[in-house]
Chain A
Amino acid sequence: MNQPAVNGGFAPQTLFLGLAASSLASSFLKTEELSARSFLLWGLPAALGLCLLSALLAAEFQARELFSGKGVFSRLGCGVSGLWFAVELIRTVRTAQEVCWSQFSSMAALSVLPLLLWAGWALPEAVFDRSSRVLWWLAGLGALLCAAGLAGQLHWQNLFPASYRFTGADLGQILYPEYFALTFLCPQRQWRKAVWMPLGSFGVQAAFCFGMALLFGARQGSGLPGYELLRSWTLGAFSRFDAVFLLLWLAAMFFRICVLAHILRLLWEKFRGRSVCEVSP
């Protein structure tokens, strides 16, 4: 349990699990008008651009040893990144709590927050990597069941009556701090795989957006809360699968809170001038 990470840092799939959950949240909490077609046309280049930017910055940061914790420049970099991750942590907690309250009338997210922060602070990276594999399997199963429950209700004809007009939401890309700290977060050369994370986040949002358009129609789907897509799920006697799916999503968000807390700890230690090896308990 308390073994230190061999190489330090997270596996790309561990980081992406949290990002996928966060991207999904931005999809089903979204209510503004959005055309699936323009989302694809504008969102894909934006996501690819982010991948490129992320790769270039990672290479540059590695060359300049931005996250080494040595020197004023490095400490400043760690401090700024830490602030951004702290803001992201607050945003993640707020989103999880919002869904908990609106869907389950529960304060569970706030209730377990200290426990999550403690776990995130104390556990080594290897534990997160192992847990993420289980969560990924569950997420895959959930997505499969969702697709099965919506199968008869999705119609390609619904995509057509869309009026094409650009809105700012079409770019649809949220800037996550993980994109710009890859060399710090991922072990050795694994950050090269992680540069595709913006594309993965876009894929999650695009799948949701197309699901909405295929079900509700390009015109009607705009402006409806994204929850409605989950609520339409039906399979025999189980009429409200959305609760199970949201619980699974919540687990992924809690996981993200732990990961962010751990990243904050690593950055704090770097800021104080200690190495990663000293950090791992």
Chain B
Amino acid sequence: MSRRATLRLLLLGLLLCWCGVFLRSENTEKSIVRALLLEQTPEQWNVALLYQFPEAAADSSDAAASVQLCAGTGKTLEQALFAAEEHLPQRPSYRLCEYLFLNTGSLRGELSACEPLFCERADLRLATRVLAVTPGCEELLARAEEEERFPEQLLQCAKDTAERAPHLYERGKGLLLPVVQLKEGSITLQKEALLLTETGTFSLTEEETEMARVLLEYGQEHTFTVEETPITIRRSVLGVQAAGDGFTVQLTFQKKAASATPTETQCQKLETLCAETVQRCWDAGADILSLGSVRALQDGQKTAFLTEKNACPAVQADVIFLG
């Protein structure tokens, strides 16, 4: 063997050694956290984790392993989270954590505390869907011990509600939170949603909730009960225009095939509901139609348009049903 060939072999060996140094025996078995539940009480923080182990699919939101629940408490959120992670069979992975449940007891505090957590941890993301939940972690844990399938049902409820739940990154505009509750032992979704803004937490009525979802374009199908007649909307198109000092809102609905055709009076009631919902949300500190941006686009200049200081501008709604 020539000297050159020996040198080449030596270099190849060196290269393989170099690569080998960085090889790690990475274990892919992790506890896949699917949802995070936070509860702040005056004394402590409670954190519960909905997780799957060990058969969760690597990167699929429809992983088939059974869902389990574990919880931890601590004086700070970090301590509580650490305590909850201690109960996991393997080290946690938050890559598939898509839902954040906040206890209705202290929504504002919980949201403020979890913001830095989501920004700091590399595997958590601000695109997580946020939901409100009425029972505390302790109650949920007790329920999970009673019924094996309870955590799975809770996760399924979150999945079914995902379209109507806001992302965490929308917190600055105000969050319209669907409320998950325990009713007669089963998990149900409250028809009334909570509006969480910088100024506080506000409860919307069932009709206002549905209209707010239409205006925020959360989900496709919506049902309104007007004059005791249910009207189911399959699809809606929203248009907002600045007109004089106020705004016109054009709502074009396509009703579901089996749903009744609304009368003119019913359309007028929907128009009134639309204007009232905008007003209600404005008063709560949320500009759900981005009227400030629409005005800025119309005027060609950025003007102060703060919901906290200014009265809600006049909104003229116009509801049209196709077909």
Quick check: A219 and B172 within 8 Å, CB to CB?
A: yes
Quick check: A231 and B127 within 8 Å, CB to CB?
A: yes
Question: Taking each of A102, A106, A160, which has the highest tally of chain B beta carbons within 10 Å of its own beta carbon?
Answer: A160
The number of A-B residue pairs with CB atoms under 8 Å apart is 81
The answer to whether A107 and B169 touch (CB under 8 A), given A102-B122, A231-B126, is no
* Set of chain B residues within 8 Å of A217, measured between Cβ atoms: 172-173
Cα–Cα, bound, A102→B121 (Å): 10
B63 and chain A: residue at smallest CB distance: A237
B62 within 8 A of A: yes
Interface of chain B: mostly helix, strand, loop or mixed = loop
* Set of chain B residues within 8 Å of A162, measured between Cβ atoms: 302
Quick check: A238 and B59 within 8 Å, CB to CB?
A: yes
The answer to whether A228 and B122 touch (CB under 8 A), given A111-B23, A114-B18, A161-B293, is no
B15 within 8 A of A: yes
Quick check: A231 and B125 within 8 Å, CB to CB?
A: yes
Mark interface residues in B52-80 (1 if CB within 8 Å of A CB, else 0).
00000001111000000000000000000
* Set of chain B residues within 8 Å of A219, measured between Cβ atoms: 172
Quick check: B22 and A232 within 8 Å, CB to CB?
A: no
Quick check: B22 and A107 within 8 Å, CB to CB?
A: yes
Give B85 Cβ to nearest chain A Cβ, in Å: 17
B292 within 8 A of A: yes
Give A274 Cβ to nearest chain B Cβ, in Å: 20
Q: Which of A202-251 contact B (CB under 8 A)?
A: 215-217, 219-220, 224-225, 227-228, 231-232, 234, 237-240, 243
Quick check: B293 and A225 within 8 Å, CB to CB?
A: no
B303 and chain A: residue at smallest CB distance: A160
The answer to whether A228 and B125 touch (CB under 8 A), given A238-B59, A240-B59, is yes
Could you tell me which B residues sit within 8 Å of A by CB distance?
Answer: 15, 18-19, 21-24, 26, 59-62, 95-96, 98, 119, 122, 125-127, 167, 169, 172-173, 290, 292-294, 296-297, 302
Could you tell me which A residues sit within 8 Å of B by CB distance?
Answer: 102-103, 105-108, 110-112, 114-115, 118, 153, 155-162, 164, 215-217, 219-220, 224-225, 227-228, 231-232, 234, 237-240, 243
